[in-house]
Amino acid sequence: MVGKKSQPSKKAQKKIGKREQSVASEGQTPHPWTEFVEAQSKADGDDKANASLEVGATPGLGPDEMELDEDETPASAAKKEHAQSFSREQEIEKLRTSGSMTQNPAEISRIRNISKVEFGRFVLFPWYFSPYPEVFSQEDCIYICEFCLSYYGDLKSFTRHRMKCTLQHPPGNEIYRDDFVSFYEIDGRRQRTWCRNLCLLSKMFLDHKTLYYDVDPFLFYVMTTRDDRGSHLIGYFSKEKESADGYNVACILTLPQFQRKGYGRILIQFSYELSKIEGKLGSPEKPLSDLGLLSYRQYWSELILDLLLGFSEREEKCTIETISTRLSMTTQDVEHTLQALKMQVYHKGEHKIVIPDKLLQQREKSKTKAKRVIDPERIQWKPPVFTAASRTWGW
């Protein structure tokens, strides 16, 4: 069955509604972030007036960005939705049009072709077109094995597959493990089918991704959560084995059933931890998806702010280059974030970085909420070395 509703070109605020459908059987839990956002609103009185003012004043740090990575109540989402659309759309447009990855308009305009997916213990409702074989678009539901990512159009053959399938984790090396998540590194060339299947799965939730078949030049970093049945896919990012432009992430996605729980932030942190080990500055490939952009913006803002606070407490000087080196972020990303937060000023013939009081207060409040982070000490990883031939061809 072909979906009638999900057009990628629709306004971002509309997409939010569609997305919530995909959170399937997971209950909505109110999250501390909501308190943070609400506290912001309360401080200035009327919700709506304040929200519009906020968006106008600091295009990069609307309450929207706080919400997307984390849980929140549907009510508060609805309240904020109207005022957010302005900065959100602007930002998305900016990133979309400045990107290196060419979009294929024909692909984007294609209508969602899969209406329902059974994946592990979740039922997912795709948002976008994904190039599964034509015949699958006629099924009411497709079944995807959550471990090998093979897809089936009928329950009978899927059940037969599950009896035989022995995979219980992604087919690569586990390079990170804490009490909460694991990361696996998977070579697109060595695990071509698995990686193609991952791309097909993720395309259902990404509006702009163009990579499906040529997975060989990429490594995939897959985050899972463990239980007695195995390691369950939460999200991943892909990374070019050698990026001429210095990108440390090509595509990044948290599966919809795990969104708004802070996992996007963990994926982003992990990508920068790898860049630190490599001794490189990293940046995600543009264009980012709208959700991706918002998660990055939030991540960058918080890290830069914390770093600057440290410098100001010690009364040390801090430059854009210092921030860039310390956080393994490119100077462009640092500058872009500082501009969005209105932290760059020109004063008495000098460019200065300032921390507005409002940001300080926001950060203090958000700090009281516990966040899960990657412990860099636990990463068991050396930058892989590829010869020109092994990057794409045989060993």
Cβ proximity to Zn ion, 37 vs 148, nearer residue: 148
Catalytic residue among 285, 316, 321, 350: 285
CB of 144 vs Zn ion, minimal distance in Å:
9
Q: Applying CB under 5 A, does 77 fall inside the site for Zn ion? A: no
CB of 255 vs Zn ion, minimal distance in Å:
17
Instruction: Give the CA radius of gyration of the chain.
Output: 21
Identify whether 38 is a catalytic site residue: no
Cβ proximity to Zn ion, 121 vs 378, nearer residue: 121
Sign of the Cα pseudo-torsion (93, 94, 95, 96, in order): positive
Helices (H), the chain: 12-21, 32-43, 47-57, 63-68, 74-97, 105-108, 155-164, 192-203, 263-278, 290-313, 320-327, 331-340, 357-367, 388-392
Q: Assess contact for 184 and 203: CB atoms under 8 A.
A: no
Q: Which stretch binds Zn ion (CB under 5 A): 141-149, 262-270, 308-316, 325-333?
A: 141-149
CB of 162 vs Zn ion, minimal distance in Å:
7
Residue given tokens 């264009």 in the structure block: 287
Q: Applying CB under 5 A, does 148 fall inside the site for Zn ion? A: yes
Q: Which stretch binds Zn ion (CB under 5 A): 36-44, 111-119, 162-170, 187-195?
A: 162-170
Cβ proximity to Zn ion, 166 vs 368, nearer residue: 166
d(CA 113, CA 131): 8
Q: Applying CB under 5 A, does 175 fall inside the site for Zn ion? A: no
CB of 147 vs Zn ion, minimal distance in Å:
5
Given candidates 141, 165, 307, 360, which one binds Zn ion under the rule CB under 5 A? 165
Q: Which stretch binds Zn ion (CB under 5 A): 79-87, 132-140, 145-153, 195-203?
A: 145-153
CB of 148 vs Zn ion, minimal distance in Å:
3
Q: Which stretch binds Zn ion (CB under 5 A): 39-47, 129-137, 144-152, 369-377?
A: 144-152
Q: Applying CB under 5 A, does 145 fall inside the site for Zn ion? A: yes
Residue 375: is it exposed, middle or buried by C-beta count within 10 angstroms (0-12/13-18/19+)?
A: exposed
Residue 389: is it exposed, middle or buried by C-beta count within 10 angstroms (0-12/13-18/19+)?
A: exposed
Q: Applying CB under 5 A, does 340 fall inside the site for Zn ion? A: no
Task: Tell me the number of residues near Zn ion by CB under 5 A.
Answer: 3
Cβ proximity to Zn ion, 24 vs 165, nearer residue: 165
CA of 242: how far to CAs of 217, 381, 384, 386, in Å?
A: 8, 17, 10, 9
Cβ proximity to Zn ion, 165 vs 379, nearer residue: 165
Sign of the Cα pseudo-torsion (312, 313, 315, 316, in order): negative
Q: Applying CB under 5 A, does 144 fall inside the site for Zn ion? A: no
Cβ proximity to Zn ion, 61 vs 148, nearer residue: 148
Q: Applying CB under 5 A, does 234 fall inside the site for Zn ion? A: no
Under 8 Å CB-to-CB from 321, ≥6 apart: which residues? 331
Q: Applying CB under 5 A, does 171 fall inside the site for Zn ion? A: no
208-215's contacts with Cβ under 8 Å and 24+ in sequence apart are: 208/96, 208/101, 208/103, 208/108, 208/287, 208/289, 209/251, 209/289, 210/101, 210/102, 210/103, 210/104, 210/107, 211/238, 211/250, 211/251, 212/131, 215/188, 215/189
CB of 130 vs Zn ion, minimal distance in Å:
18
Q: Which stretch binds Zn ion (CB under 5 A): 9-17, 110-118, 157-165, 220-228?
A: 157-165
Task: Give me the residues that bind Zn ion (CB under 5 A), please.
Answer: 145, 148, 165
Q: Which residues are catalytic?
A: 285
